[in-house]
Amino acid sequence: MSEKTILVWFRKDLRIHDNEILLEAVRKSKYVVPVYCFDPRQFDTTIYQTKKTGEIRAKFLIDSIKDLQLSLQKLGGDLIVKLGKPEDVLPELVKKYQVSEVYHHREVASEETRVSADVETVLWRLKINLKHFIGHTLYHKEDLPFPIKDIPDVFTSFRKKIERDSNVRPCFETPSQIQIPPGMEPGTIPELKDLGYDFIPQSDKRGAMQFAGGETEGLKRMYYYFWDSDGIKNYKHTRNGMIGADYSSKFSPWLSLGCLSSREVYWEIKKYEKERVSNDSTYWLSFELLWRDYFRFMFKKHGNKFFQKAGFKGVAPEEAENQQELFEHWKNAKTGIPFIDANMRELNNTGFMSNRGRQNVASFLVKDLKVNWLWGAALFEEKLIDYCPASDWGNWAYVAGVGNDPKEYRHFNVLKQAHEYDPQGEYVRLWLPELNALADNQVHQPWKLSSSELKALNIELGNTYPKPIIELAK
Ligand SMILES: Cc1cc2nc3c(=O)[nH]c(=O)nc-3n(C[C@H](O)[C@H](O)[C@H](O)COP(=O)(O)OP(=O)(O)OC[C@H]3O[C@@H](n4cnc5c(N)ncnc54)[C@H](O)[C@@H]3O)c2cc1C
């Protein structure tokens, strides 16, 4: 057996299933040193004055680390947890445990790749190699039918070619045992207060789901959605829902931190198709997973353009003079447009919002309010429990018309969408109980009622609920 010690640097791959770096380290070494760093930069304030990580996602992350540590312990291993920058922490551990190589999964967004580059530099000084693996996407970069620079900027062209010419690789097996150096000191998992948070987020029972971090919970959700509830069987027809756990998979928070591998999900879909049913819905879930891949590959292709106002189209959308004031209304769920406010309240209270909701609030901010879309994306970065750079900034750029949307001027009619996707106003009433008394056909446009009609229902626009900040008909 090799005498090597390999350090496995966990980042957004917080799992033991389908994890190539872990399996490879176990196979190639005598000892494995699994490490996770809570990087203080992840808890900073951004240039947009938003937090890089809000409380809800921070808690989800802490729980995911606890679960990973437990899983490694069950295999005879453990997880070293440190609060510090990886480029400071890793060289210390390399020296302490006489590590001969460090493994990690490659990221795509610039902040993450810069950290990898810095780690590579400091390790290089110690004559230690940082080995890069690819492990976040469904399709392996090397199996794509085109080099990254030639990936089409239109999703449909990408999808058709991928589906015809590429295959998803099988998953890596889970190691049966992990050997760590004798006396390895795991360190302590920080609490929220150690990361600078002064309150613990409370769960809101109206939330789509009570998300709990970690691979165990992620896998449990996957088995439930496929095998217990058969939710996947109707996914294509329910995915535009807005209330409850099962209108969509809700895999995103676990996929974002790598608690669930998208490849594992893909092969479970294939198994379900073989054993239960194969239909347009089972296909559609892998179709959506392909969107996730697509934005990651787009990030590799266009890089930091996704963080710029003009995106990769080169022309920034128009901005209103009072955009700062409009943005404050939007982010605080006080636009006076119930469908928008209900969605923003769900986001603020739970860290989650449906895909339908995300498309509407984003389009409303950019196309109706004419606010800088980067502010919206940064707020989502803070609030979303499933935030991931490529999916967030990629989708925002798409909605803002500076990314991958081939249509020149797509504009959601927010009222039409509200009536279509919340016809009885159930969703709006769930999140805006102050509008409970309104009838189904009034709840999306309270301003259409006279002040005496509203008074009879104990509603006063501008007092119990805001007046609309813009006239939508315009
Ligand atoms: C403005 C905006 C911002 C978004 N920001 C994020 C984000 O930060 N993180 C994130 O994971 N998703 C983001 N999405 C995509 C999508 O809304 C969520 O992935 C989805 O709502 C999560 O719920 P689900 O897991 O039940 O999805 P399902 O409908 O069950 O889909 C299954 C999986 O497919 C992937 N997926 C689905 N739709 C998309 C999409 N449009 N783009 C990329 N991947 C997709 C996700 O991994 C998702 O978990 C954003 C969409 C918009 C419009």
Q: What's the CATH architecture for 323-456? A: Orthogonal Bundle (1.10)
Would you state the pLDDT for residue 1? 59
User: CATH 1.10.579.10 region(s) of the chain?
Assistant: 323-456
Would you state the pLDDT for residue 314? 86
Q: Return the residue matching tokens 């490659």.
A: 106
- Token pair recorded at residue 423: 């016809």
Counting atoms of ligand 1 from 1, which one is nearest the CA of 262? 47
Would you state the pLDDT for residue 201? 84
- 219-224: long-range contacts, CB 8 A cutoff, minimum separation 24: 219/17, 219/260, 219/264, 221/249, 221/250, 221/251, 221/254, 221/260, 222/249, 222/251, 222/260, 222/264, 222/265, 222/268
Question: pTM for this one?
Answer: 0.98
The answer on pLDDT for 13 being more than 70 is yes
User: CATH 3.40.50.620 region(s) of the chain?
Assistant: 5-135
Angle at 150 between CA 138 and CA 395, to 5 degrees: 55
Beta strands (DSSP E) in 178-279 are none
Question: Cα(33)–Cα(167) distance, rounded to whole angstroms?
Answer: 33
Mean of the pLDDT values across residues 279-295? 98
Q: 427-447 pLDDT, tens per residue? A: 999 999 999 999 999 999 999
Q: Whose CA is nearest to atom 24 of ligand 1?
A: 250
The answer on pLDDT for 102 being more than 60 is yes
Q: Whose CA is nearest to atom 45 of ligand 1?
A: 292
Q: 192-205 pLDDT, tens per residue? A: 999 999 988 889 99
Would you state the pLDDT for residue 187? 87
Beta-bridge partners for 465: 461
The SS3 of residue 33 is strand
Confidence bin at 134 (pLDDT 50/70/90): very high
Looking at every residue in the chain, the average pLDDT score rounds to 96
The answer on pLDDT for 474 being more than 90 is no
Percent of the chain with pLDDT over 70: 99
**Half-sphere CA count of 242, side-chain side, radius 13 A:** 27
Question: Cα(191)–Cα(303) distance, rounded to whole angstroms?
Answer: 34
Residue bearing the bigger pLDDT, 442 or 1:
442
Quickly count: other Cβ atoms within 10 Å of residue 250's Cβ.
22
Quickly count: other Cβ atoms within 10 Å of residue 468's Cβ.
16
With respect to CATH, is domain 140-168+216-305 assigned 3.30.420.40? no
Q: 303-351 pLDDT, tens per residue? A: 999 999 999 888 999 999 999 999 999 999 999 999 999 999 999 999 9
Q: What's the CATH architecture for 5-135? A: 3-Layer(aba) Sandwich (3.40)
Mean of the pLDDT values across residues 162-173? 97
The DSSP secondary-structure symbol of 312 reads: T
Q: Whose CA is nearest to atom 20 of ligand 1?
A: 355
User: CATH 1.25.40.80 region(s) of the chain?
Assistant: 140-168+216-305
The DSSP secondary-structure symbol of 134 reads: -
Q: What lines the ligand 1 site, CB under 6 Å?
A: 239, 248-252, 255-256, 285, 288-289, 291-292, 295, 354-355, 358-359, 362, 380, 384, 386-388, 391-392, 395-396, 399
The answer on pLDDT for 473 being more than 70 is no
The answer on pLDDT for 406 being more than 90 is no
Counting atoms of ligand 1 from 1, which one is nearest the CA of 387? 8
The answer on pLDDT for 223 being more than 90 is yes
Mean of the pLDDT values across residues 233-239? 98
Counting atoms of ligand 1 from 1, which one is nearest the CA of 239? 29
